[in-house]
């Protein structure tokens, strides 16, 4: 049954009956043998009209009990309908974005009011319409692939884009990019040097931010663009390992170098990563270039031929010293190629999260960045 938006309270009809007869609420209370407070609560809609009350009103006003029961039912149903609308709106909003996690991270203000939640989401995503998923605008020379994002992944990307706007960089040029690549290679020998990555990327013209991943997002990194000459690299550091950090960074740098547009990389590293057969040509290219960022492909191929499958710690350290790359990066590449099991030499895969976030603009793990007011 479709109900009017503002179904009147039965009390409004009682008031009209009283006016027509010149009765007061006290008069009606005496007629019904009720207290004045009881009658007032019925008229205010604070007390429901029960069957015995409907019978009494029907006798008092000569209308019959059915009239008052119908009015009471219609009114209560309209209240329930309004409540249901709020439930429906909340359900849509919670499906639109990970509300609980965004509130927990301080990305939006906490509220139970659907209007307030909607206002917060519109501000966060910078949209006026929440009926369709917001687009992460990227005006690039190449159009990125259409990638369906989960609400968690989309919110993570928008947060990264918001943070990146406050990062200062030098102009993004091909020469600056190539110079930066050479500088990055010099940092890969020692984990402590990872703290300088944000500085090098800034000189390359790339905004670099770190955003802790939201639960169930499975995001490792992304390449975004504010405009044609405004590249952004964001990493999640969900795997706190030196090899994962450098591979993810190299993968996103490949996307930037080829202006691939919006690229959100999920399950990029680790045992759950996709097989080569599941990857697009763009992702295969980015993986290759990420591996070659620090270790020339011919170098690692030659090492595998000479040493494999007997990869001792000593031989890996010798190789690492010769090419001036941390042994954890070599172990990570061998695991990625299936030459080593993921359970082997895990102590070599040192943690770098605290090192990277010491200088990079970071949201997560206790690092709080103010949201828009």
Tell me what pLDDT residue 278 has.
Answer: 84
Residue 369, pLDDT above cutoff 80:
no
What average pLDDT score do residues 239-260 get?
95
Contact 164, 223 (CB under 8 A): no
Q: What is the pLDDT of residues 46-89, one digit of tens each?
A: 999 999 999 999 999 999 999 999 999 998 888 876 667 778 88
Tell me what pLDDT residue 85 has.
Answer: 76
Tell me what pLDDT residue 371 has.
Answer: 57
Residue 234, pLDDT above cutoff 70:
yes
Tell me what pLDDT residue 2 has.
Answer: 41
CB under 8 Å to 291, separation ≥6 — which residues?
247, 250, 297, 300, 333, 336
Residues 170 and 276 in one domain: yes
The residue from 61, 78, 93 where one domain ends is: 93
Quote the distance between the C-alpha of residue 288 and its chain's center.
28
- pTM: predicted TM-score of the whole model, two decimal places: 0.77
Q: What is the mean pLDDT of the chain?
A: 90
Domain that holds residue 22: 10-93
Q: What is the pLDDT of residues 27-44, one digit of tens each?
A: 999 999 999 999 999 999
CB under 8 Å to 292, separation ≥6 — which residues?
250
CA 209 – CA 197 distance, rounded (Å): 11
Residues 111 and 165 in one domain: no
Residues 102 and 236 in one domain: no
Q: What is the pLDDT of residues 261-307, one digit of tens each?
A: 788 998 888 777 878 888 889 999 999 999 999 999 999 999 999 99
Residues 89 and 113 in one domain: no
Residues 127 and 46 in one domain: no
Domain count, the chain: 3
Structure tokens at 236: 């999640």
Residues 166 and 285 in one domain: yes
């Amino acid at each position: 049954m479709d109900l009017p938006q503002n179904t009147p309270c039965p009390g409004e009809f009682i008031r009209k009956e009283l006016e027509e007869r010149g009765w007061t609420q006290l008069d009606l209370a005496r007629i019904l043998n009720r207290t004045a407070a009881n009658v007032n609560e019925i008229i205010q809609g604070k007390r429901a009209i029960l069957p015995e009350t409907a019978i009494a009103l029907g006798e008092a006003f000569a209308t019959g009990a059915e009239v008052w029961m119908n009015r009471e039912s219609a009114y209560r149903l309209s209240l329930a309908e309004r409540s249901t609308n709020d439930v429906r709106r909340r359900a849509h909003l919670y499906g639109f974005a990970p509300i609980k996690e965004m509130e927990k991270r301080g990305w939006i203000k906490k509220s139970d009011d659907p209007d307030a939640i909607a206002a917060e989401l519109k501000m966060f995503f910078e949209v006026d319409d929440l009926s369709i998923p917001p687009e992460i605008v990227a005006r690039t020379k190449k159009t990125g692939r259409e990638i369906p994002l989960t609400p968690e992944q989309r919110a993570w990307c928008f947060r990264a884009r918001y943070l990146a706007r406050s990062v200062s960089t030098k102009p993004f040029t091909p020469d600056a990019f190539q110079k930066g690549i050479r500088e990055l290679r010099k940092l890969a020998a020692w984990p402590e040097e990872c703290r300088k990555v944000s500085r090098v990327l800034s000189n390359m013209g790339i905004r670099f931010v770190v955003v802790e991943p939201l639960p169930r997002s499975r995001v490792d990194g992304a390449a975004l663009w504010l405009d044609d000459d405004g590249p952004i690299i964001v990493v999640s550091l969900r795997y706190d390992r030196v090899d994962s950090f450098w591979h993810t960074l190299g993968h996103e740098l490949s996307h930037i170098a080829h202006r691939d547009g919006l690229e959100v990389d999920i399950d990029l590293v680790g045992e759950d990563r996709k097989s080569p057969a599941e990857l697009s040509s763009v992702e295969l290219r980015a993986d290759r270039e990420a591996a070659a960022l620090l270790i020339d492909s011919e170098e690692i191929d030659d090492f595998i031929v000479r040493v494999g499958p007997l990869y001792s710690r000593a031989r890996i350290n010798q190789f690492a010293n010769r090419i001036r790359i941390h042994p954890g990066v070599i172990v990570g590449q061998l695991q990625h190629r299936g030459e080593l099991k993921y359970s082997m030499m895990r102590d070599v895969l040192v943690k770098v999260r605290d090192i990277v976030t010491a200088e990079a603009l970071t949201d997560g793990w206790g690092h709080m960045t103010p949201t828009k007011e």
